[in-house]
Amino acid sequence: MYTNKRKIINDPIYGFVSIPNDLIYDLINHPYFQRLRRIKQLGLTNLVYPGALHTRFHHAVGAMHLMQEAVLTLRQKDILITEEEEQAVLIAILLHDIGHGPFSHALEHSIVRGVSHEAISSLFMAKLNEEFDGKLTLAIEIFNNRHSKKFLHQLVSSQLDMDRLDYLKRDSFFTGVSEGVISSDRIIKMLNVANNELVVENKAIYSIEKFLIARRLMYWQVYLHKTVLSAETLLVNILQRAKEITASGTELFATPTLSLFLKNNFTQKDFEMDAALLNKFSKLDDSDLDAAIKVWCECEDKILAKLCQNLLDRKLFKIEMQNEPFDEAYINGFTERVCKLYKISKEDAHYFVLTDVVNNSAYTADQFNINILMSDGKLIDVAAASDQLNLQSLSKTVSKYFICYPKEIIFKF
């Protein structure tokens, strides 16, 4: 029976997004990709911005749409992109986040330590390439920057790629944070290629400045919002405690897939050597953790139960942020209070009192310059071309240190 695969998806940001060919339709409908519907793009950010419930599926399809627009723009400027390269670069951006797990960054710091979502994305793409008889080979070359046309990889992964253009606009829309609104249409229309590198025509320099400033603001107001950090820290501690309890031989409630990852310390080599393990990971999504956390509120381990109940009831840790590391005596003061309040040992107090550092860099020139193509043909880095004095400061990494602790200890002592 013939199936029409030239479908359209109604996206809240861009309107109708077309699925350009049968292969991409089949990839979108593959279980590996459909899993992204069950993984929120911004994890626990909805605890701060209630509208932030969009998924990684939304983002991947949106990034593919922007890639279609970028390819069209470059072709109109006589940049040679073959039909095979167009399909490959669309597949590369569509699958760029396929390796994300539930609450991705928390997962990478607890259950699958040392295995990045980028590495798992590459493994998923290789597995899909086998299933689709090598039709993803060129997409994988572009994804891994092994194709001769470097600008195609830069459209997928750089400091001005379709990934960033979509997530800034999409995350701004769903959180309601207007500072993240960018003119992605204008930026894409001003893209060009020089010396095999992706560049931006000088008419768009103000749009690029706004893009970089919006990115910096979105990191502080959304991605590194202190309450979001507090919630993510709580989730990391929950998973670490659950893993510690499981390692001691205690059986915790968990779906079969989550149980597998709680009981084992898998490395990247394990994923590379065992195709079945990759399939197991593909079954893991937000619902596994959501169900477990609800049940763990009633578990016998009082530390895990307390952490889970706090997250479920949104009783998040108090968080303080500053430019310098916190004094050891200051940290110890909170540790002692926690031990008294919850009647736990100092060894267990780190689940309730902890410090860390976050970094925010809107533009890192040594990774991939955003080059401005001037009217005389010269290429100038955006930080040098800009007449905005603060753009130079955006290329500096800002570090902030934070400490988390239960709010109760403020009132009890």
Say whether pLDDT at 413 is over 60.
Answer: no
- φ/ψ bin of 357: left (φ > 0), alpha (ψ from -120 to 50), beta (otherwise): beta
Say whether pLDDT at 133 is over 60.
Answer: yes
Report residue 114's pLDDT band, with 50, 70 and 90 as the boundaries: confident
Compute CA distances 61 → 67, 122, 123, whole Å: 10, 18, 20
Say whether pLDDT at 393 is over 80.
Answer: no
| pLDDT score of 113 | 75
Query: What's the CA gap between 284 and 108, in Å, rounded?
Result: 13
3-state secondary structure of 389: helix
| pLDDT score of 390 | 59
| pLDDT score of 218 | 94
Say whether pLDDT at 330 is over 80.
Answer: yes
Report residue 411's pLDDT band, with 50, 70 and 90 as the boundaries: low
How is the beta sheet containing 191-194 ordered, strand by strand?
191-194, 197-201, 371-373, 379-381
| pLDDT score of 388 | 57
Report residue 287's pLDDT band, with 50, 70 and 90 as the boundaries: very high
pLDDT, one tens digit per residue, over 81-113 is: 999 999 999 999 999 999 999 987 777 767 777
Compute CA distances 365 → 153, 168, 282, 391, whole Å: 17, 20, 35, 12
| pLDDT score of 127 | 96
DSSP state letter for 265: -
Mean of pLDDT over the chain: 92
Alpha helices in 7-82 (DSSP H): 22-28, 31-34, 56-76
Rounded mean pLDDT, 247-257: 95
In 238-340, DSSP assigns E strands to 318-322
Domains of the chain from N-terminus onward: 8-225+364-396 (1.10.3210.10), 317-361+397-413 (1.20.1250.30)
Say whether pLDDT at 363 is over 80.
Answer: no
SS (H, E, C) 282-301: CCCCHHHHHHHHHHHCCCCC
Say whether pLDDT at 409 is over 90.
Answer: no
Rounded mean pLDDT, 131-156: 97
- The residue among 181, 178, 157 whose CA lies nearest residue 63 is 157
| pLDDT score of 391 | 61
Q: Above pLDDT 90, what percent of the chain?
A: 79
Say whether pLDDT at 4 is over 90.
Answer: no
Report residue 366's pLDDT band, with 50, 70 and 90 as the boundaries: low
Report residue 150's pLDDT band, with 50, 70 and 90 as the boundaries: very high
pTM assigned to the model: 0.93
pLDDT, one tens digit per residue, over 157-198 is: 999 999 999 999 999 999 999 988 999 999 999 999 999 999
Query: What's the CA gap between 104 and 225, in Å, rounded?
Result: 17
- The residue among 68, 60, 69, 70 whose CA lies nearest residue 166 is 60
